[in-house]
Amino acid sequence: MMMAGTCAARPAAAALALCLALGLLRAFVPGAAHGAAAQRPAAAQASGAPMGMGEQPQESPLLGAATRLLAGAAAAGLLAGLSAGAARAEIEDVAIPVDGKGKTRNLSKEELIRGKRLFNVACGTCHVGGGTRTNQSVGLGIEELSGAFPPRNTIDSLVDYINAPTTYDGLKDISEVHPSIIAADLWPKMRSMKQQDLYDISAYILYQNYVIPEKWGGGKQYY
């Protein structure tokens, strides 16, 4: 896969660049440092180090500074590359089931952020961490969602649920007990919700199940 390729290549390239740069420095600087030995006290003075502490053989200040600078830059570049790669891998490499027929979607970072924000505003109080405050045995973990009737483990079925929620066994309408679109007159936060909002909220719920299954959906054995 392309993503994995660039991700692996980036640290290698950074490491190679660092090695090359250090190699070049080692090749050139020691000679220069010996030749410039008379300049050392000046450098020490400039850096505020007391004079007369020259008994210990010192690393060339130039080489030391350059090494630290290069190592710092390389480490920073490596970290930035790695975390950007990891974040992208997490979001875009997760296929979220859309319907019960095998259709899936990979979210973009923007969709995920949107879903998370909407979830936190509209659902987060009762479903903190994917649990369900009023009944911990029907949290938003994948097992609970899959065990409902009809199963609520796809984007479409969750959107359907938020439009017109039913009991876990699917037998009763609970739109006046659980926030819903069909009873939006009772649920102020649901009045401005578009179907796209429900979609993004649902996708976020399922994404959390794939990425942090051990933390999402309180009421499981992990808690």
Element (H, E) at 97: strand 95-97
CB of 136 to ligand NAG, least distance (A): 8
Closer to ligand NAG by Cβ: residue 1 or 37: 1
C-alpha atoms less than 13 angstroms from C-alpha of 193 in its C-beta half-sphere = 30
Please give the Cα distance from 103 to 95 (Å, whole number).
9
Interface residue with ligand NAG, options 14, 18, 138, 145 (CB under 6 A) = 138
CB of 137 to ligand NAG, least distance (A): 5
Q: Which positions from 13 through 52 interact with ligand NAG, judged by CB under 6 A?
A: none
**Among 20-28, 54-62, 81-89, 134-142, which window interacts with ligand NAG (CB under 6 A)?**
134-142
Quick check: 98 binds ligand NAG (CB under 6 A)?
no
Closer to ligand NAG by Cβ: residue 108 or 125: 108
Quick check: 7 binds ligand NAG (CB under 6 A)?
no
Closer to ligand NAG by Cβ: residue 163 or 167: 167
Please give the Cα distance from 116 to 126 (Å, whole number).
14
| Gap between the terminal Cα atoms of the chain | 36
Closer to ligand NAG by Cβ: residue 61 or 129: 129
Gyration radius (Cα) of the chain, Å? 29
Coil, strand or helix at 96: strand
Closer to ligand NAG by Cβ: residue 137 or 195: 137
CB of 108 to ligand NAG, least distance (A): 10
Closer to ligand NAG by Cβ: residue 118 or 138: 138
Neighbours of 79 (CB within 10 A): 12
Please give the Cα distance from 139 to 135 (Å, whole number).
7
Contact 133, 126 (CB under 8 A): yes
Please give the Cα distance from 3 to 95 (Å, whole number).
15
CB of 1 to ligand NAG, least distance (A): 6
Side chain identity at residue 36, one-letter code: A
Q: Which positions from 144 through 183 interact with ligand NAG, judged by CB under 6 A?
A: 167-168
- Interface residues with ligand NAG (CB under 6 A)? 92-95, 106, 135, 137-138, 167-168
